[in-house]
Amino acid sequence: MVKIGILGVGTVGASVANILETNADILEARAGKKIVVKSGVVKNLSKDRGVSIKLSDNPSDIIDDPEIDIVVELMGGVEEPYRLVKQALENGKAVVTANKALLAYHRYELQEIAGNTPLMYEASTAGGIPIIGALRNGLTANHIESIQGIMNGTTNYMLTKMINEGALYDDILKEAQALGYAEADPTFDVGGFDASHKLLILASIAYGIDAKPEDILIEGIENINQTDVAFAKEFGYEIKLLGIAKKVKEGVELRVHPTMIPASSMIAKVDGVMNAVSVVGDNVGETMYYGAGAGGEATASAVIADIVDIVRGNQDPMLGYKKPLETGMELLFESEIVTNYYLRMSVIDQSGVLAKITKALETFNISIESMLQKPHRDDELVKLLFTTHACQEEKIQEAMIALKKLNCVHGEIAMIRIEK
Ligand code: HSE
């Protein structure tokens, strides 16, 4: 018999306990051993968790219990779970965690501490989708050319409602929170941080890159408005918050930002709380993974997959490398990213204004691909929307500063990156 202790019995923890109980027969058949939850640890013992397992408020009851074989960490946060996971590994216990923030900061240290003790984290990225297993195992014969994915259910839910139903940002965020999709602090979702944690985990497996969130470009969906949505529709794009890892000649681009993508692409059709990840390998070509990226049961499904894998004897290192990559990939600076851009600005409706704007862009060697001018109803300003041909991030940033200095440009300039 294998005994489990769960640190954090919230939505996911309760689902793990309940599924292990209700699906005990099939899990025993698949794992070869009976799996039981011995106890769970929570901060507040008076709250009903909807589980039949024994609960305590002392993590030591799990970490230091010699009977417990596998510690499942579902607490959230970074430093406290880091301390507890470290202690559990040092005590020789296998660990399963769904904690992407913990892994975004400490995955390499934890791998080092774990050594040959299993440390698994399928549920940390894209909820129920087995994307980590796919990268570590199924795609191991490939150099990974790119990973592109909708890795945050909350923002995908919000964007879908904003785009398809014209829903208002604040209302729809409240709805996502009520449905249990959003992080405890939803800034993690809307600001792109949650997606960045997941992207960094995948980038470690695909490229061996040990980057932290502060090392990469992260932008959220806070500034998307209905003008952008209308432009995207008119020009055949969808807007999605994507995590992108792309191998180019000089290194690897890692970035999270709202992205205009062709409406005809598969990923553009992924709506609501669903996640999807496209991975291109040099041998396999494009592969695509789709499923629920948030929610108790979907995430618990991935947690339990790891538990079963450990019970079956899988001792593979968490990042998928038995020795370091000889030709390590370099993370490119934000300024080196090359892509197409959409710009939105308000300008005075007078002759010569467009010439001034195109002149400013010419200075940075930026070429316009398409353009749309929308009159404002109530004043003399018009909205100027355009897309550019591919150019370097550094150039577009400099061009935006130059454009803002023009007298004919009023207020902020919004920018959305485009992936063709
Ligand atoms: N808040 C996350 C999301 C939950 O919306 O995708 C799963 O990580």
Ligand 1: atom nearest CA of 125 is 8
- Which CATH code is given to the segment(s) 132-292? 3.30.360.10
Joined together, the tokens standing for residue 146 give: 């790119």
Give me the average pLDDT of each 10-residue run along the chain (420 residues): 97 97 98 98 94 95 98 96 98 98 96 95 96 95 97 95 91 89 89 98 94 97 91 94 95 97 96 96 98 92 97 86 75 96 94 94 96 78 94 98 96 95
Ligand 1: atom nearest CA of 181 is 5
Fold of domain 335-418: Alpha-Beta Plaits (3.30.70)
Residue 128, ligand 1, Cβ within 6 A: no
Q: How many CA atoms lie within 13 A of 177 on its CB side?
A: 13
Assigned superfamily of 2-128: NAD(P)-binding Rossmann-like Domain (3.40.50.720)
d(CA 219, CA 289): 23
Instruction: Quote the pLDDT of residue 328.
Output: 60
Pocket test for ligand 1, best of 129, 150, 152 (most atoms within 8 A of CB): 152
- Cβ-contact 367, 395 below 8 angstroms: no
Q: Tokens 């920018």 map to which residue?
A: 415
- Please give the radius of gyration of the chain, using alpha carbons only, rounded to the nearest integer: 24
Our answer to whether residue 198 is catalytic in this structure is yes
Residue 253, ligand 1, Cβ within 6 A: no
Residue 158, ligand 1, Cβ within 6 A: no
Residue 183, ligand 1, Cβ within 6 A: yes
Joined together, the tokens standing for residue 104 give: 């975004």
Q: Is 132-292 in the same CATH topology as 2-128?
A: no
- Which residues on neighbouring strands pair with residue 70, listed in sequence order? 4, 94
Separation in Å, CA 130 to CA 26, 88, 127:
19, 25, 8
Ligand 1: atom nearest CA of 186 is 1
Catalytic residue among 38, 100, 161, 198: 198
Instruction: Quote the pLDDT of residue 197.
Output: 98
d(CA 202, CA 141): 16
- Cβ-contact 1, 36 below 8 angstroms: yes
Residue 189, ligand 1, Cβ within 6 A: yes
Separation in Å, CA 283 to CA 139, 141, 143, 245:
9, 8, 8, 18
Rounded (10°) CA dihedral 273, 276, 277, 280: -160
Instruction: Quote the pLDDT of residue 327.
Output: 67
Distance 36 CA to ligand 1 centre (A): 27
d(CA 194, CA 101): 7
Domain borders along the chain are 2-128, 132-292, 335-418
Distance 126 CA to ligand 1 centre (A): 8
Bridge-based pairing state of the strands 217-218 and 251-262? parallel
Instruction: Quote the pLDDT of residue 6.
Output: 98
- Sequence-separated (6 or more) residues with CB below 8 Å from residue 4: 20, 35, 36, 37, 38, 68, 69, 70, 71, 72, 307
